Amino acid sequence: MEGKKRGAVRYHCRHVTRYGYGDPVTSAHMLAHLAPRTHPRQTCHMATLSVVPWPAVVTERRDWFGNPVTYAALHTPHRELTVTAEIEVTVAPPPPFVPQATPCWEEIAALASTLAETAEFVRPSARVPLADTALTLFAAAFFPQGRAVGEGALDLTRRIHADFSFDPTATTISTPISEVLARKRGVCQDFAHLMIGALRALGLPARYVSGYLRTLPPPGRPKLQGADASHAWVQVWCGDDDGWIDLDPTNGRQCDTDHVTLAWGRDYDDVCPLRGVILGGGHHGVLVAVDVDPVDGP
């Protein structure tokens, strides 16, 4: 029964973004990736988006990657803008995954550039440019000759968690991967881009995933890094049998029912939760709050 599957969790998520402007904004246009993406492990029950002031135009569509997108245009002068997204989803646990049983990474790399499903996620992108020598050497350490692709990817996931420090003050969204690798500090977006860059350096397909983490963990489990805000992780393609596997380098683990998916693409630029252009405004500040709570408790 929907929402009652063994191990499945139903969530209510609320994401509030508030902008304050020094001068009036006379016109604003925005794109929002704030509705959940339906996939085999995730079912959407409800999704609403509220914008104050109310926009003159609101349209919904699917982007190139199949993610739900909302476009809004505001023509009412304002000094404050509030965008509130509320969703309700059920997330099921992933199917069994045996990393050592996946194909060797060389086989996956050879296939990836020839398949429509994966070719786009092997090439460089805006936030994940062509790998330099340092990143390629970093990646190669996890993928010796003949190693199973899932085993190497999971090892890479855990190593980033172990060796890199979660530090919201260390980077901005424009910080290059080379600097994250050198300084070993950053946030979930940085670690996702780093892992994607490492995988693509060896010709392995990797996608950037935007979503949320459960705000409060079940009893006896530690709170995950990256909760209380938008989160990011990685999908790596492990062949036809296992498909795309979700891995969270910020927390060093495979994704499970703690992770709610919004969208996926090549990197952050494809799936930014909220972006746009404004006329006027001057200096501005922004506050973001995210709550992800089980509907029926743990």
Q: How far is CA 99 from CA 104, 156, 289, in A?
A: 10, 12, 35
- This prediction's pTM: 0.93
Instruction: List pLDDT tens digits, range 146-199.
Output: 999 999 999 999 999 999 999 999 998 889 999 999 999 999 999 999 999 999
pLDDT greater than 50 at residue 57: yes
Residue 252 DSSP SS3: coil
Task: Tell me the CATH number of domain 9-92+272-294, given options 3.40.630.40, 2.60.40.2250, 3.40.640.10, 1.20.1050.10.
Answer: 2.60.40.2250
- 222: exposed, middle or buried (Cβ count in 10 Å: 0-12, 13-18, 19+): exposed
The residue type found at 147 is: R
DSSP state of 116: T
Radius of gyration of the chain (CA): 20
Instruction: List pLDDT tens digits, range 81-108.
Output: 999 999 999 999 999 999 999 999 999 9
The Cα–Cα gap between 127 and 193 comes to: 7
DSSP state of 120: G
Torsions phi, psi for 49 (to 5 deg): -135, 120
CATH fold, domain 99-271, is: C8orf32 fold (3.10.620)
Decide which of 21 and 222 is more confident: 21
The Cα–Cα gap between 222 and 177 comes to: 28
Name the band, by pLDDT with cuts 50, 70 and 90, for residue 227. Answer: low
Equal fold, 9-92+272-294 vs 99-271: no
Residue 258 DSSP SS3: coil
Decide which of 135 and 222 is more confident: 135
Instruction: List pLDDT tens digits, range 213-222.
Output: 997 777 777 7
Q: How far is CA 94 from CA 41, 79, 90, 176, in A?
A: 7, 44, 13, 32
Q: How far is CA 187 from CA 77, 165, 173, in A?
A: 35, 8, 9
Per domain, the residue ranges of the chain are 9-92+272-294, 99-271
Give the mean pLDDT of 276-284.
90
CB 148 within 8 A of CB 104: yes
Name the band, by pLDDT with cuts 50, 70 and 90, for residue 2. Answer: very low
DSSP state of 282: -
The Cα–Cα gap between 65 and 197 comes to: 19
Torsions phi, psi for 140 (to 5 deg): -60, -25
